[in-house]
Chains A and B, each alone.
Chain A
């Protein structure tokens, strides 16, 4: 399912979007997310997580997908952002950050148990979304630990996604070599934000 490996360089971005759209339809129901997550090589032992345990990785995968889902363009899972975050925690993060992520994910499960009596991954789709939206509503109670962890994790997903080829050049427009700067063009000429 990792679209990034399948993009044929001969196709233009527009054609890729069209192809991806045809292949996937406009939006993927959430019930299929687990399939995507599990099919994403974890169970196959191929891309075994470097940092997280399988259970935590599954949770991370779910959250990653809920933050940036697949629409008419690839989502964060398609772009491999969950694998990226796992790699970053294994190779880039300090011990302190590593503990923060392990505890933070535990905290989200705890929150799910408190609210719905089940681990996050076992909750119904609307419960999952409701919980993340609650955590995302940062301004309400800014010093809640879970909330501040989630806003960090959300940023990790967002930054990870828009820095991948999929996020930067399929969802948005990427301009490697712009040439002369133009200060004032009709937005419709671009149609999307620069990444």
Chain B
């Protein structure tokens, strides 16, 4: 392969997709390196649009395959027979945890990465989120504030297509929205009740990366309107939800500045001690095991939080014996996820004559309300709720008795309305939550596997408890009956919002990256995936990764052109 690239981008998920788009559109010759196979938009969505009876085993994965090949991935709601090609085989991609400290690392190794699988909720962070570390002393201060990222939120929202409603909430800034999706009758009623009885709280329709009304820019990329199938994780040939394959990849391709290398695992980044720059990457062809070194002026690591961290830890040199750009020693530390699996659900009496049409790939959202105006003594920071109202389908048969004609007649009608709220809460950065390379165990390509140690601590436990209490309280106050609170404490990782192991900060002694996602130690190395996060807030993070990546890409090109790299 020719080595004539301005930039190498490692990883093709949400962050990598944005990096290739922004870099190629600014005229750079870019090589995209993806460890997984090529995935063709549309053609490779083999489960798309299929009814259950058109899928092998009605869409179920054979039990032995599930327990042997997908022992971890099976915890993810999105894994089934129609999507399993987008998830890693756990047996082929091991990592190590203490058995009492499980961490669920959910991964998709293919062109497009997990941008094919994400749940598409898209929320801005607010000023409060960027100042939180400084105010309570957990983690290091973010080197940016809301005003630094706001124009980049505008930029990525406009291109990606985010559907949502303008609400004027300080803790959840409005953005460039496509029309919001509809709430159903019960959601409208519960919204009214919650907002009346808890004046500091609001319930809004979820903001999500779906084209409710495509713009000219979307249409030109071959994208179309959302069809409310709610099978997004199978892939969508309408390109109605944002993914690398539907949006950023075609945008980068049309510049003619992009070269794609799939089935290529980045083993490490090469460091040139004379020039004090990253000079390229060492790659291993996953099929042939062939090793190769490729060079470029600029390296963007977007291989996902733990993927990028693994590459950096494995990039050892005389200058960086503990991993590349790790003079601070904090590479691998401060792993965070969101805490969830705590909330409540119940039944909503009435509206029996009302029903919905379509499977809305979105729910409602209750933005954070704790620790905003007044301080809550029980825990630091806060959480939001996702949820919604629905009428259960025949699947409720699992918990009702009856057989024969009466069962069939009962299931011909939808069940009574139900309403549920599930919290997503902020996890504090803590250096004890960390990853490191194993000294013995290597994967089949000879790369040391990761050890992961991450547990929920006092603040998280307290927050989880309040989540389910608050959810119960709000539902009961809104007329929901038979409310059942729950607090199941999911293993960390399972929110699939892992982040923080190569954090941004002002100080090179306590952080890996500066305010432009540029390594403090190595000017031409940029890290823009979730590993850059100095705190987790409680909002779904992908939109922020997009904005940070676009911002860093623009800055990197500027610095390159100024000869600063």
Contact = CB atoms under 8 A, between A and B. Distances in A.
Q: Do A and B bind each other?
A: yes
Contacts, number: 151
A165 B58 CA distance: 11
A160 B188 CA distance: 34
Interface string B47-87: 00101110001111011100100000000000000000000
Interface string A162-173: 111100110110
B414 A193 contact: yes
Interface of B: 49, 51-53, 57-60, 62-64, 67, 181-185, 187-188, 227-229, 352-360, 391, 393-395, 397-398, 401-405, 407-409, 411-414
Which of the four size classes fits the interface of chain A?
Answer: 35 or more
B182 A168 contact: no
A141 interface: no
B348 to A, nearest CB: 13
A132 B63 CA distance: 27
Contacts of A139: 401
B355 A136 contact: no
Interface stretch (A50-58, A92-100, A109-117): A92-100
A179 B352 contact: no
B67 A94 contact: yes
Of A69, A180, A192, which is in contact with the most chain B CB atoms at under 10 Å from its CB? A180
Interface in A22-40: 27
B353 A155 contact: no
A174 B355 CA distance: 14
A68 B391 CA distance: 22
Given A171-B408, A193-B393, A182 B63 contact: no
B357 A163 contact: no
A181 B353 contact: no
Of B53, B184, B185, B398, which is in contact with the most chain A CB atoms at under 10 Å from its CB? B53
21 contacts: A67-B403, A69-B405, A94-B64, A158-B398, A159-B58, A159-B395, A169-B51, A175-B358, A176-B49, A180-B358, A181-B182, A182-B356, A183-B182, A183-B185, A183-B356, A184-B182, A184-B356, A186-B354, A188-B353, A192-B412, A193-B411
A180 to B, nearest CB: 6
A189 B188 CA distance: 21
Interface of A: 27, 66-69, 71, 75, 84, 88, 91-94, 97, 129, 132-133, 136-139, 154-155, 158-160, 162-165, 168-169, 171-172, 174-190, 192-195
A136 B181 CA distance: 41
A182 B413 contact: no
Nearest to A93: B63
A192 B56 CA distance: 27
Contacts of B412: 171-172, 192-193
Given A137-B401, A183-B187, A192-B413, A91 B53 contact: no
Contact of A67 (B58, B358, B360, B404): B404
A162 to B, nearest CB: 4
Contact of A187 (B352, B393, B398): B352
Contact of B397 (A155, A176, A187): A155
A84 B199 CA distance: 53
Of A164, A181, A193, which is in contact with the most chain B CB atoms at under 10 Å from its CB? A181
A181 B208 CA distance: 14
A190 B354 CA distance: 10
Nearest to B351: A184
A124 to B, nearest CB: 15
A183 B403 contact: no
A71 B405 contact: yes
A104 to B, nearest CB: 16
B407 A67 contact: yes
Contacts of A93: 62-63
A156 to B, nearest CB: 11
A84 B397 CA distance: 19
B352 A190 contact: no
Contacts of B413: 192-193
